[in-house]
Amino acid sequence: MDFSEDPYLQPLLFGLFLSMYLVTVLGNLLIILAVTSDSHLHTPMYFFLCSLSLANVGFISTTVPKMIVDIFTHSTVISYAGCLTQMFMFILFACMDDFLLTVMAYDRFVAICHPLHYHVIMNPHRCGFLLLLSFTASLLDSLMQNLVVLRVACFSGVEISNLFCDPSQLLNLNCSDTFSSDIVIYLIGIIYGFLPMSGIFFSYSQIVSSILRVPSIGGRCKAFSTCGSHLTVVCLFYGTGIGVYLSSTFSLSAWKCAVASLVYTVVTPMLNPFIYSLRNKDMKRAMRRLLSSAAVVPVPCIWIGGEKGEKINTVDLQFSPTC
């Protein structure tokens, strides 16, 4: 569906979606460059932050480019293969966000509750294993839901009341055997929804109880500040996700469901870079270094020499540091 059928709003929507997409991609790529270029940020927390930024880029790239093309071409048609591909990538990156937020909560739990054993527990091998486990679980979820949709018989000429191929709507198109589809949907919801949320809740309950035992107020504030950015992203991600689920459950209007999905798929990935960069001193320092190094214009090198054996006075010469 179109976000708006008003022809006068089409250029405004085109510019809005394009600018939001570029801001999201550039912001997340800037986080990745800042972390990889600064050796002080080569820690498990920022390793998972880079992975989350990469997942955010993939998450928004599954929906917004198609919206921009639809506005530009005035067409809202998508092929069967294109719809399944969009749904597959959407679920994959959404689950990656979900599991990475859970892993980051576990990382903060180990750092605050077991600080002396942090580097032993969160070693590079375990970090790589957790990332691989998150990707594998997300891939299985995406494959299972696509297999359910592939069994749908009445999938020709359907109208999807959303801005993209919403999995919740596609999974309800099964008109042959709804019982088995419902079982798969509820099972997936428990495994990929309830378990990550329970892990995050348990981690932060242990973190809060550990912080409250710190005697000094300054120590408590410092411990809370290390979790503030991640907790803000968790609330934003799950809050908008639950809003989308409730909007589809209570059968709200198609436009309201589209707005809720827009906040979930576009606004949330766009705000993540700002949350992590503005609330984190290390990230702000790394970004300033990255931007200052990018702004330095190298001075061209000039070879000044004489004939063979001639002595040159270099006292008054000024050389570029890049020479």
Structure confidence at residue 73 (pLDDT): 84
Burial annotation 241-259 (CB, 10 A radius, 16+ → b, else e): bebbeebbeeeeeeeebbb
Residue 176 dihedral angles phi and psi, to the nearest 5°: -100, -50
Helix (H, G, I), strand (E, B) or coil at 160: coil
For the chain, domains (ranges, CATH) are: 10-287 (1.20.1070.10)
Q: pTM for the complete prediction?
A: 0.81
Cα first-last separation, the chain: 58
CA atoms within 13 A on the CB side of 71: 22
Say what the pLDDT of residue 223 is.
67
What is the widest separation between alpha-carbon atoms in the chain? 93
User: H helices then E strands: how many in the chain?
Assistant: 13, 0
* Phi, psi dihedrals of residue 249, rounded to the nearest 5°: -70, -40
What per-residue confidence (pLDDT) applies to 89? 92
> CA 179 to CA 201: how far, in whole Å?
31
Per-residue pLDDT of the chain (323 residues; tens, 9 = 90+): 777 677 778 888 888 889 999 999 998 998 898 888 888 888 888 899 899 999 999 999 998 999 888 888 888 888 888 888 998 999 999 899 989 999 999 998 998 888 888 889 999 999 999 999 999 999 998 888 888 777 765 666 778 777 888 777 777 666 555 666 667 777 777 777 788 888 888 988 888 888 887 777 776 776 676 677 778 888 888 877 776 666 655 555 666 777 777 877 888 888 888 887 766 777 777 777 777 776 654 555 555 555 544 544 444 444 444 44
* pLDDT tens column, 288-314: 777 777 665 455 555 555 554 454 444
Angle formed at CA 258 by CA 71 and CA 156, multiple of 5 degrees: 75
pLDDT in the model for residue 294: 67
